[in-house]
Chains A and B, each alone.
Chain A
């Protein structure tokens, strides 16, 4: 009951901050990117808040207990992705003045068809990413309150979609910044407590996994005992590092900062926030191996650890805090994802008004809820890994080549996207449906990024015929890299007051 109460508190606080942040979402740009009036510090917090999802709060610790310390390579990849975001994407994307990845594709390649294709890819990635979030909400609610899984999932869907439909991105930014702090406090606080409460014996056991189980302590990620752990680790690293770069909801965030320079700096700040956060799944994972070695659903290990270490009231209070932190992770990530999904549905696929955008949120939630009911048995990190693999095989090459190489054509991008999306989703689906012997093939299907990413890059570049590069392509690319008045919104100034429209002042200042 305590757990349910703390979760309700987080939800209530989110709704209040959301309503406070609304200040009337008037037009599509308001709704989608908060009319660019979000201050950089908030933005980094919001990106981290949205990015530290159920996969990080629950999934990492769970996978650590289940598969061994190598699970932390996921965290390394999640963070390393932001080095590439800072280096390859953030600045130029901001200068392009496009809202979403499909917008960018249309800007760069001048083809409305490619925009719709990108819209479809956004849908696939966002849905794959939403599933594990709803799964997390369902299992946590089930654990702390006994509510059946499906009711928890449906309820979570209602809460998220209603907060977003009212406020849009502006409210989402503040809500997500708040959620990063909630997550850090509610995951880190209990972790520190638990280290003390565990006592010297269990601490010693947790810190010496090598003695107990050398296989578990091997710093490589072995997927279901395939025996090719180095291959699996590298493929996961490729997927997470390159996937972070192509995640539509992350890329979209950079449009809410003042200019290209702050966009890059925001990416660096995100690395700091993520590094700080990823210290704590380690605590739950190491302690969890000692105190909850036989958990059936490893994805809830962080919620199980407190009561296993400290039975009684203290344990119950700590459990409630962790559960609230996990729920905050679910809320923030899924609201960011739903916004991008709604953007994809209405803005890119149907060309849209605000009401269509709101409808998009509702439709997206319904889809994700429906799909997450049968996904209850799949590990959170496996699902998230697929979303990253698809992003790495589609938008990563599209953005990299589109930003840095003027030879990319609409045809090349179309073929490349088809091949990348087809091969990565196909491999993931095959690995979910087929029951393969653990081995090289099963790894290459379950973690396809290692071969699908190069494949997508090669087809995208190979199918771009040099002769068919239009005259304006050169200008479209140059504009992304030149500071000053020839690029959009690159004023460099930090917005001072909320409520004034920065685009307008920037325009008249020139």
Chain B
């Protein structure tokens, strides 16, 4: 609501991050809540914390899966480029990798967002 009162006024706005940057030497705990400018997680109930924990584990599993898929895909492309005879060998290297990379990234983003949605639905 603060913003609505100060419609036509030029105010020098500093973010919580700036305040952090200006105020060095704060203790670690103070830094955490100052940095984020949000209520500390420790105000969450045990159930909420549990849900957060689960969301993070799901994201981590997904991230590992994507990283491994990427390694496998790159290895497969490398093998395919070397084994393809003649002209097509370099054509594989020039054109094949990019669609593969795009699909990997798209699938990851969709799944990551689904995990977030599930978390939000669980804890409105």
Contacts and interface: CB of A to CB of B under 8 A. Distances in A.
Partners in one complex: yes
Interface of A: 26-29, 35, 69-70, 72-73, 76, 79-80, 82-84, 86-88, 91, 96-99, 103, 106-107, 110, 112, 207-210, 217-220, 230, 233-234, 237, 241, 261, 264-265, 267-268, 271-272, 274-275, 278-279, 282, 347, 351, 404, 470, 472, 475-479, 481-488, 500-501, 503-505, 507-508
B103 to A, nearest CB: 10
Nearest to B113: A261
Given A110-B31, A219-B90, A478-B56, A483 B105 contact: no
Interface string B37-74: 11111101000010011011001101100110010001
A503 B37 CA distance: 10
B98 A488 contact: no
Contacts of A488: 16, 35-38
A230 B83 CA distance: 13
Interface in B97-119: 97-99, 101-102, 104-106, 108-109, 112-113, 116, 119
A86 B12 contact: no
Contacts of B116: 261, 483
Contacts of B89: 210, 217-219
A217 B52 contact: no
Nearest to B66: A87
Given A27-B18, A29-B17, A404-B63, A479 B3 contact: no
Interface size band for B = 35 or more
24 contacts: A29-B14, A29-B15, A69-B94, A210-B89, A219-B84, A230-B78, A241-B70, A261-B113, A261-B116, A264-B108, A268-B109, A275-B102, A278-B98, A475-B32, A479-B36, A481-B59, A482-B52, A484-B120, A486-B36, A487-B36, A488-B36, A503-B13, A508-B1, A508-B4
Q: Taking each of A35, A84, A482, A508, which has the highest tally of chain B beta carbons within 10 Å of its own beta carbon?
A: A482
A421 to B, nearest CB: 23
Given A69-B93, A508-B2, 9 more contacts: A83-B66, A99-B17, A217-B90, A264-B108, A268-B109, A279-B94, A479-B41, A487-B36, A504-B2
Contacts of B74: 76, 80, 237, 241
B99 to A, nearest CB: 8
A286 to B, nearest CB: 9
A475 B40 contact: yes
Contacts of B78: 230, 233-234, 237
Contacts of A507: 2, 37
A171 B21 CA distance: 22
A64 B70 CA distance: 25
Contacts of B67: 84, 87-88
A478 B98 contact: no
A80 B70 contact: yes
A97 B70 CA distance: 28
Contacts of A483: 55, 116, 119-120
Contact of B82 (A84, A219, A267, A479): A219
Contacts of A103: 17, 21
Contacts of B66: 83-84, 87
Contact of A477 (B12, B17, B56): B56
Contact of A207 (B17, B87, B109): B87
Nearest to B56: A481
Nearest to B42: A475
A83 B25 CA distance: 36
Contacts of A487: 36, 38
What are the 10 closest A-B residue pairs judged by CB atoms, nearest first? A275-B98, A110-B28, A219-B81, A481-B56, A87-B66, A69-B90, A488-B36, A219-B93, A483-B116, A76-B97
A110 B25 CA distance: 10
B18 A265 contact: no
A80 B37 contact: no
A397 to B, nearest CB: 13
Contacts of A472: 28-29, 32
Nearest to A281: B94
Contact of B105 (A29, A86, A505): A86
Contacts of B17: 29, 97-99, 103
A96 B21 CA distance: 14
Nearest to B57: A481
A504 B31 CA distance: 20
